[in-house]
Structure formats: C-alpha cells, structure tokens
Amino acid sequence: MDSFWSALLEALHLVITLDSDLLEIIGLSMQVTITAVSIACLIGLPIGAAVAAFRFPGRTFLAVLLNAMMGLPPVVVGLLVYLTLSASGPLGPLGLLYTPTAMIIAQTVLVTPIVAALTRQVIEDLNTEYAEQFASMGVRAADRLAALLWDGRYALMTVALAGFGRAIAEVGAVIIVGGNINHVTRVMTTTIALETSKGNLQLALALGFILLVIAFAVNAAVMALRASAVRTAYA
C-alpha cells in the first residue's frame, strides 16, 4: 500500500513539473493519433457518405464490410501492418517498421473503417431527408456529397472524436509495429504497458492519469457539440 501512495505522489510530481520524458511521450501520442485520425477522416468520410448516398453495385456488401471492420482486433491489425512493413514484406524496402509512421499506418487502418461506418449511418438518415429536395433542385452528385457532409458536420465531428478516442487508447497494434523504442516510438499506452511490467509505476500512473483526462475531454467535447447542434437545430 505504501508503494502505491508513493508511486501516486511521484506520478503527480511528474505531471506537475511537466517532466520532459512525459511530455515527449504525450507529444508523440498526440502527433501519431491526430495524424492517423486526420487521414482516416480524409478517406472514411467520403467513402461512408458515398455508400450512404449513392446506389452502385456492391453497395450493400461495402456497408456490411465497413460495419464488420469496425470491430477489427488491434493486435490483428498490428500483425498485418507488421507483415507488410517487415523486411520481407511488400513495403519492407521503405524501412518503416518501428517508426512513428508505422504506428500512424496501423492506427489509420484501425480507425478508417470506424469513421466510414459511423459516417454512413449519419449520412444515410440525412440523405433520406434531403434526397427529394436535392433531386428537385438538380444538385449534381459531387455537390450532393459535399452538402451532406457539411450538413452532417456536428454528428461527423463526434464521429472523428470517437475515432480519436479509440486510437489514442489503443495499445495492441502500435506496440507491434512501433516496438516501444525509447525516444523514438514510445507512446502513452505502450509506455504504460512496459513500465508497469517493469514495476516502474510512477510514469505508468502519470500517463494513465493523462489518458483519463483526454478521455474525459473527448467526451465533454462530444457533449458540447451535441448541445450546440441541438440549440441551432443543426443536429
């Protein structure tokens, strides 16, 4: 019990004094996850919206596939990205394994289906409401997609936040492709896993505390977005 309290105190000390190792780890986590979620949105938003708004062969299959891929186990994603990037893999020559880029790729693969599937749900409802009006106005396909994405902006921001929440808290994939190398690929979750197993609890606790704060902040942001969308009837 004594060691628990002393670890907690030391963890607080790390946070309050803005320990440089701690900041580096948080910084890399944020950089990796924000980059991955941005790419996932760039890919997932149009795909999800297109599946929702257009009829084309294979549309239902794609919708089912996206939903199924939402639940991809992170370790499996990590393994697949590892195999692709490893020396003998198809992208081996790029030498990306155990770099932040590898972690970005893994998180992007993990989050893109989530963004796309949730986007499809959001845009499908909106499209049902708008379809006839748009047909009457003669809105072209690309403009329709853009209008649906824009009018779904509040709900879609919460989709992006959901993707962020999933990626920042994920450990299985990034530890496989990143390797948790000190000062290179150590992010919050991998550090917590490693330091805990080494019995170095204060850093793990400090990072765990930060992760919790981030989770709360993301949820608060989602609730604030919802409230403001409801207030302006933009929900």
In sequence order, the 6+-apart residues with CB closer than 8 A to the CB of 170 are: 74, 107, 110, 189
Q: What is the Cα–Cα distance from 118 to 99, expressed in whole angstroms?
A: 29
The dihedral through the CA atoms of 95, 100, 103, 105 has a sign that is negative
CB of 196 to another protein, least distance (A): 46
- Stretch 76-115: interaction string toward another protein, x if CB under 8 A: ----------------------------------------
Residue 124 contacts another protein per CB under 8 A: no
CB of 151 to another protein, least distance (A): 4
3-state secondary structure of 199: coil
Cα dihedral value 89, 93, 97, 100, nearest 10? -130
Question: Which residue of 151, 169, 193, 200 would you call a contact of another protein, by CB under 8 A?
Answer: 151
Residue 232 contacts another protein per CB under 8 A: yes
How far is residue 223 from each of residues 149, 158, 191, 230, measured CA to CA in Å?
A: 20, 9, 30, 11
Question: Which residue of 135, 141, 184, 217 would you call a contact of another protein, by CB under 8 A?
Answer: 135
Question: Which residue of 137, 212, 213, 223 would you call a contact of another protein, by CB under 8 A?
Answer: 137
Give DSSP secondary structure letters for 54-85.
---TTHHHHHHHHHHHTT--HHHHHHHHHHHH
Residue 130 contacts another protein per CB under 8 A: yes
| Span from 4-12, 110-118, 124-132, 184-192 in contact with another protein (CB under 8 A) | 124-132
Residue 233 contacts another protein per CB under 8 A: yes
Q: Please answer whether residues 48 and 116 qualify as being in contact, where contact means their C-beta atoms are separated by less than 8 angstroms.
A: yes
Residue 157 contacts another protein per CB under 8 A: no
CB of 220 to another protein, least distance (A): 23
Residue 55 contacts another protein per CB under 8 A: no
- Please tell me the count of residues contacting another protein according to CB under 8 A: 17
Q: What is the Cα–Cα distance from 180 to 105, expressed in whole angstroms?
A: 15
Residue 132 contacts another protein per CB under 8 A: yes
CB of 134 to another protein, least distance (A): 9
Report the candidate in 227, 175, 224 with the shortest Cα–Cα distance to residue 197.
175
Residue 141 contacts another protein per CB under 8 A: no
Q: Which residues bind another protein (CB under 8 A)?
A: 129-130, 132-133, 135-140, 143, 147, 150-151, 232-234
